[in-house]
């Protein structure tokens, strides 16, 4: 409908000012996936009939000799060979570009030795498990804005289209918005990564995370109880 309106065929337009042949041609030019269009006017109705084009099937070359190779590093899960010689099997670990199915076929007469070789277009279905490594960095320190819930009202008088402020309260964000700074908890395998903050002691940290001072000292190679602000400690979980 939108395409017809853009072309000039829309509700309320005089029908003798609409040229169906022109609308048909513009629709064919606008939509390449349409193979046939019929536009007709019956009474006060415009009838548009469309037939979609049949997509061309993908042409697969089955003649030119070729091999099948791996697109990515993977572990082969299954392999079904339609044509050619399989080089790998289920469970094999392959690198990108590795030969999977060869287009070279050995011709043998029964159980006798090789009598020749034939080169064909290798075909088959191969499924492999691919793994990806994702990396992300997150700062240990964060700042969060906290709202107090307090309110102030601005009273004004409207005269016509003019607004007169009677009372203008102090609406500075600093008065009602607070900022909280904290440290994120970062886990590494069976350990918690903790950054020492002001007022921390080994005893308080151990109590908070359900461990002991001795366990923290051993994990971090500490010989005493002295810790510094900003020091990163590994806490056993």
Given pLDDT bands bounded at 50, 70 and 90, which one contains residue 88?
Answer: very high
Measured torsion, CA atoms of residues 220, 225, 228, 229, in degrees rounded to the nearest 10: 90
Per the model's pLDDT, the better-predicted residue between 77 and 58 turns out to be 77
Q: What is the mean pLDDT of residues 20-26?
A: 79
Question: Same domain, yes or no, for 125 and 152?
Answer: no
Question: Same domain, yes or no, for 24 and 92?
Answer: no
Given pLDDT bands bounded at 50, 70 and 90, which one contains residue 179?
Answer: low
pLDDT over 80 at 46, yes or no: no
With respect to residue 27, please indicate whether it lies within any of the assigned structural domains: yes
pLDDT over 60 at 176, yes or no: no
With respect to residue 61, please indicate whether it lies within any of the assigned structural domains: no
Question: Same domain, yes or no, for 145 and 226?
Answer: yes
Question: Same domain, yes or no, for 153 and 220?
Answer: yes
Q: Which range marks the domain in which residue 18 is found? A: 2-52
With respect to residue 62, please indicate whether it lies within any of the assigned structural domains: no
- CA–CA separation, 178 vs 173, rounded Å? 9
With respect to residue 59, please indicate whether it lies within any of the assigned structural domains: no
With respect to residue 180, please indicate whether it lies within any of the assigned structural domains: yes
Per-position DSSP letters for 173-200, written without gaps between them:
HHHHEEEEEEE--EEETTEEEEE--TT-
DSSP H stretches of helix in 14-111? 20-30
Chain-wide mean pLDDT for the chain?
Answer: 79
Question: Same domain, yes or no, for 146 and 125?
Answer: no
Question: Same domain, yes or no, for 179 and 94?
Answer: no
- Do the beta carbons of residue 79 and residue 86 sit within 8 Å? yes
* Segment holding 214, helix H or strand E: helix 213-220
Given pLDDT bands bounded at 50, 70 and 90, which one contains residue 127?
Answer: very high
- pTM of the full predicted structure? 0.38
With respect to residue 86, please indicate whether it lies within any of the assigned structural domains: yes
Question: Same domain, yes or no, for 161 and 227?
Answer: yes
With respect to residue 159, please indicate whether it lies within any of the assigned structural domains: yes
Q: Which of 141, 135, 229, 133 is nearest to 186 (CA)?
A: 141
Question: What is the count of structural domains for the chain?
Answer: 3
Q: Are strands 232-236 and 99-102 parallel, antiparallel or unpaired?
A: unpaired
Question: Same domain, yes or no, for 199 and 124?
Answer: no
Question: Same domain, yes or no, for 152 and 230?
Answer: yes
pLDDT over 70 at 200, yes or no: yes
With respect to residue 90, please indicate whether it lies within any of the assigned structural domains: yes
Question: Same domain, yes or no, for 112 and 171?
Answer: no
Question: Same domain, yes or no, for 95 and 22?
Answer: no
Question: Same domain, yes or no, for 204 and 231?
Answer: yes
């Amino acid at each position: 409908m939108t395409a017809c309106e853009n072309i000039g065929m829309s509700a309320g337009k005089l029908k003798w000012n609409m040229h169906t042949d022109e609308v048909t041609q513009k629709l064919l030019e606008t939509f390449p996936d349409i193979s046939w269009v019929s536009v007709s006017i019956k009474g006060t109705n415009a009838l548009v009939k469309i037939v979609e084009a049949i997509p061309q099937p993908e042409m697969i070359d089955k003649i030119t000799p070729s091999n099948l190779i791996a697109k990515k590093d993977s572990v082969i899960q299954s392999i079904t060979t339609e044509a050619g010689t399989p080089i790998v099997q289920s469970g094999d670990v392959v690198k990108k570009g590795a030969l999977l199915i060869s287009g070279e076929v050995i011709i043998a007469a029964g159980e006798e030795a090789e009598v020749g070789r034939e080169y064909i277009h290798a075909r088959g279905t191969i499924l492999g498990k691919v793994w990806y490594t994702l990396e992300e960095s997150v700062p240990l320190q964060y700042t969060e804005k906290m709202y107090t819930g307090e309110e102030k009202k601005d009273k004004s008088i409207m005269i016509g289209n003019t607004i007169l402020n009677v009372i203008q309260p102090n609406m500075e964000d600093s008065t009602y918005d607070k900022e909280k700074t904290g440290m994120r908890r970062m886990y590494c395998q069976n350990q918690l990564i903790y950054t020492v903050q002001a007022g921390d002691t080994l005893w308080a940290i151990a109590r908070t995370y359900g461990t002991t001072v001795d366990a923290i000292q051993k994990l971090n190679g500490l010989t005493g109880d002295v810790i510094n602000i900003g020091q990163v400690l590994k806490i056993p979980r």
